[in-house]
A and B are shown apart, each in its own frame.
Chain A
Amino acid sequence: MKFLKYLFIIFFLFSFNYSKAENNNLQNKITKNLRCLICQGQSIYDSDSEFANSIKILVDQKINEGQTENQIYEYLKDKYGEWILYDPKFSKNTYFLWLLPILIFIIGGAILSKLFIIKKS
């Protein structure tokens, strides 16, 4: 009976942690998508620099204020420019980046079909 009681208390405590954990997941997701501007090749999530730590706190605050993921991205983009986001938007500077994989896919398809047709004939 005592064992059951303890089990119940532990279960109760864990269920409390749930909302906190969800918050953390969102924070991790956002900070993994942000580039640490003063580090090299690290995300905000990975970095432990002063800059990254401040951004983590800020993202936490914004989540608690009830802002959505996109709102937080927009805010940071406004402050630091597009570069802080790992996922660049489609624009005149990035069209090459976005279209290249499609181009390679089409060329690859052309090669394959060419080989296939030649083999068949």
Chain B
Amino acid sequence: MKTNFLSKILIVFFGVVFFIFYKGLNNSNIYVPKVNIDKNIPSFTAKIFNSSTKIKSEEIFNNNQFYLVNIWASWCIPCREEHSFLLDLSKNKNVIIIGINYKDKIQNAKFFLGEFKNPYKIIIRDTDGTISIDWGAYGVPETFLISNKKIIKRITGPINIDSFSEIKEIIQ
């Protein structure tokens, strides 16, 4: 009676353990956030690149216009990969590209823009990374597509050919 009861408990226990691992191992362990799509853009005040004036987010973003907010830094290697896509998009009149210069030295950032050209209409400086946190960003590079003051698409990591064509399709 005793051993019977214990063996039943053991079977149930291992069953539960098996079930948990079976479910858990099938899950992807790469975390992709579901939040931040269709969210209102954060409001912030930030310094403009290359000048000491400050700008409010309300002055940057208007309705009825697509904006591409790109977080970049001169020390970030993947940012160089995506730069050609940004230059291409900057020729498109339907979208305005806003840059957030993330934890960068101003001299290095200027050098970067001089070398690879400047696709941004406005660049704001984020010296301690808190503005990027306000956007819910992880780091550099990260890109947000904005329409009517809402985030409609988000690209974590560099823009590649797929996301590039997706953006183009949306802003047509």
Using a CB–CB cutoff of 8 Å, the interface residues on chain A facing chain B are 37-38, 50-51, 53-55, 57-58, 61, 78-81, 83, 107, 111, 114-115, 118
Interface string of B90-120 (1 = CB under 8 A from A): 0000000000000100000000000000000
- What residues of A have a CB within 8 angstroms of the CB of B133 in the complex? 54-55, 58, 79
Bound Cα distance A94, B133 (Å):
26
Asked whether A81 lies within 8 Å of B33 as measured between CB atoms, the reply is yes
The reply to whether A51 and B33 form a contact with Cβ atoms under 8 Å apart is no
Q: Is B162 part of the binding interface, using a Cβ–Cβ cutoff of 8 Å?
A: no
The 5 closest A-B pairs by CB, nearest first: A54-B129, A79-B136, A81-B35, A58-B130, A81-B33
Collect the chain B residues with CB atoms within 8 Å of residue A61's CB.
Answer: 130
17 example contacts (A-B, Cβ-Cβ < 8 A) are as follows A37-B31, A38-B138, A50-B139, A51-B138, A51-B139, A53-B129, A54-B128, A54-B130, A54-B133, A57-B128, A57-B129, A80-B33, A81-B34, A111-B5, A111-B6, A118-B1, A118-B2
Chain B residues near A50 (CB-CB < 8 A)? 103, 129, 139
Question: In the complex, A111→B31 CA distance in Å?
Answer: 39
Do residues B103 and A83 form an inter-chain contact, with CB atoms below 8 A?
A: no
In the assembled complex, how far is the CB of residue A96 from the closest CB belonging to chain B, in whole angstroms?
8
Nearest Cβ in chain A — how far from B18, in angstroms? 15
Beyond the given A57-B128, A81-B35, please list 4 additional residue pairs across the A-B interface where CB-CB is below 8 A.
Answer: A38-B139, A51-B138, A53-B129, A80-B33
The answer to whether A79 touches B36, judged by C-beta atoms less than 8 angstroms apart, is yes
Of A37, A58, A61, A115, chain B has the most CB atoms within 10 Å of the CB of A58
Bound-state Cα–Cα, A105 to B34, Å: 35
Asked whether B77 is an interface residue with its Cβ less than 8 Å from the other chain, the reply is no
B138 touches A111 (CB 8 A): no
Q: How far is the CA of A53 from the CA of B130 in the complex (A)?
A: 9
Q: Mark B122-163, 1 if CB is under 8 A from A, else 0.
A: 000000111011111011000000000000000000000000
